[in-house]
């Protein structure tokens, strides 16, 4: 049984066992799991599970259900301490992230996403409450800013881990998710073991409180969520799936904007590689992105050849080839419902296997030398 300790008397504890240290630990643990999960998600579901736009929409709908139900945390707090709940949800997020690649099929990834979302949203709800309880009004602005800085640093470390580890350490989706998830879980476990139960100086109200004067805040929160779900969720997915967009690795250093890229190029190019302007029409100034003389980051020449509107109009583009394939795939039960593969054969240049559902068997052949694929119903 862990000891109870008043926040008012926390100064008597060593610095590494005080409430602030626990909040820092949790601020670091969360992005280690969530940043890796979200950064690799689009590539994982497209390359491994073969998601289309409808599938990614369903996944993020499932993911937001716990966010909507996070108000139910109030009822859980009648039985569980906020601190214990926060660490438990952080551990759940870590475990769900660690096993993400173990379920490379639709129902599996939806289940894991639901569990990780419960961990993420319930943790975030309780974590914000603990921050406001454990810091005084005078020190809260500065301390909350510091916690955000720790979280941002952990996010940067997670991204560098992916960038450098993917080639240097030969990471796979499974190894990246396992390392990130287990790191988060380990930090949550450490937080549970070494820290006492902190008692806030003011008892918390366990009822829902809605204030009319906060209507603008509620509206902005709603619009912020809509912005993210409509644009952020689908923008990266569409660039990976439909347009074949790649990172831009040839930005001249004098045109970079990201301080990390400017400081560490060419070893680490920073965030600019994946946030160059979206091109729409290669024959328009700035690819149709802007009528300004110059853009904040330069237009990528290789992206011009895959401009979105041009690709949509070109019957031979990656966009339309993939659209045709996805339309065909949805009609094949061996593709959409089967989780059985048999008769695997091949060598260094090609591989073939059968995908089987209850009412269909497809023989799939992939030639790595000619970069072609064929599918035959048998």
pLDDT at 260: 79
Half-sphere exposure in the Cβ direction for 33 (13 Å, CA): 31
pLDDT at residue number 53: 66
3-state helix, strand, coil in the chain (%, to 5): 60, 10, 30
Residues 241, 244, 246, CA angle at the centre, nearest 5°?
A: 120
pLDDT at position 1: 45
Domain 4-209: which topology? Growth Hormone; Chain: A; (1.20.1250)
Phi, psi at residue 283, to the nearest 5°?
A: -90, -5
Domain ranges for the chain, please list them: 4-209, 242-313, 338-377
Tokens of 77: 């707090």
pLDDT at residue number 65:
78
267: CB partners within 8 A, 6+ apart = none
Q: What are phi and psi of 241, to 5 degrees?
A: -80, -50
Q: In angstroms, what CA-CA distances link 8 with 5, 12, 134, 207? A: 9, 9, 9, 25
197-199 and 4-6 strand pairing = parallel
Q: What is the pLDDT along the chain (378 residues), one digit of tens a residue?
A: 467 777 777 778 888 888 889 999 999 999 999 999 888 887 888 778 877 667 777 887 788 777 767 666 777 777 888 888 899 999 999 999 999 999 888 888 889 989 998 898 888 888 888 888 888 888 888 888 999 999 999 998 888 888 888 877 788 889 999 999 999 999 999 999 988 888 877 666 666 667 788 888 777 767 766 555 555 555 555 555 555 566 777 788 888 888 878 888 777 778 778 778 888 888 888 888 888 888 888 888 778 777 888 888 888 887 888 888 888 888 888 888 877 889 999 888 999 999 998 889 999 999 988 888 999 998
Q: How far apart are CA 318 and CA 228, in angstroms?
A: 26
């Amino acid at each position: 049984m862990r000891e109870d300790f008043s926040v008012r008397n926390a100064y008597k504890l060593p610095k590494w066992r005080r409430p602030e240290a626990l909040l820092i630990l949790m601020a670091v643990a969360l992005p280690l799991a969530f940043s890796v999960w979200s950064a690799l998600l689009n590539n994982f579901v497209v390359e491994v599970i073969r998601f289309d736009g409808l599938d990614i929409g369903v996944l993020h709908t499932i993911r937001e259900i716990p966010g909507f139900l996070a108000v139910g945390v109030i009822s859980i707090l009648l039985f569980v301490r906020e601190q214990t709940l926060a660490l438990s949800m952080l551990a759940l997020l870590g475990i769900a992230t660690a096993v993400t690649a173990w379920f490379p099929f639709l129902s599996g990834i939806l289940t894991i996403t639901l569990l990780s979302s419960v961990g993420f949203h319930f943790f975030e709800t309780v974590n914000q409450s603990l921050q406001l309880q454990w810091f005084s009004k005078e020190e809260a602005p500065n301390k909350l800013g510091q916690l955000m800085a720790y979280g941002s640093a952990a996010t940067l470390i997670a991204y560098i881990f992916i960038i450098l580890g993917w080639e240097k350490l030969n990471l796979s989706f499974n190894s990246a998710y396992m390392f990130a998830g287990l790191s988060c879980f380990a930090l949550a476990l450490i937080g549970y073991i070494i820290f006492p139960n902190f008692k806030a100086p003011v008892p918390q109200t366990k009822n829902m409180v809605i204030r009319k004067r906060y209507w603008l805040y509620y509206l902005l929160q709603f619009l912020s969520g809509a912005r993210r779900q409509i644009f952020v969720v689908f923008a990266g997915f569409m660039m990976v799936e439909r347009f074949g967009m790649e990172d831009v690795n040839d930005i001249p250093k004098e045109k970079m904007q990201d301080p990390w890229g400017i400081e560490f190029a060419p070893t680490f190019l920073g965030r600019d590689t994946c946030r160059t302007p979206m091109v729409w029409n290669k024959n328009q100034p700035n690819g149709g992105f802007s009528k300004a003389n110059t853009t904040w980051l330069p237009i990528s020449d290789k992206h011009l050849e895959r401009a979105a509107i041009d690709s949509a109009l070109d019957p031979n583009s990656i966009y339309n080839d993939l659209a045709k394939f996805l339309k065909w795939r949805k009609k094949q039960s061996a593709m959409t419902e089967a989780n059985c593969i048999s008769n695997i054969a091949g060598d260094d240049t090609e591989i073939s296997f059968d995908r089987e559902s209850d009412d269909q068997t497809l023989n799939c052949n992939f030639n790595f030398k000619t970069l072609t694929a064929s599918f035959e119903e048998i």
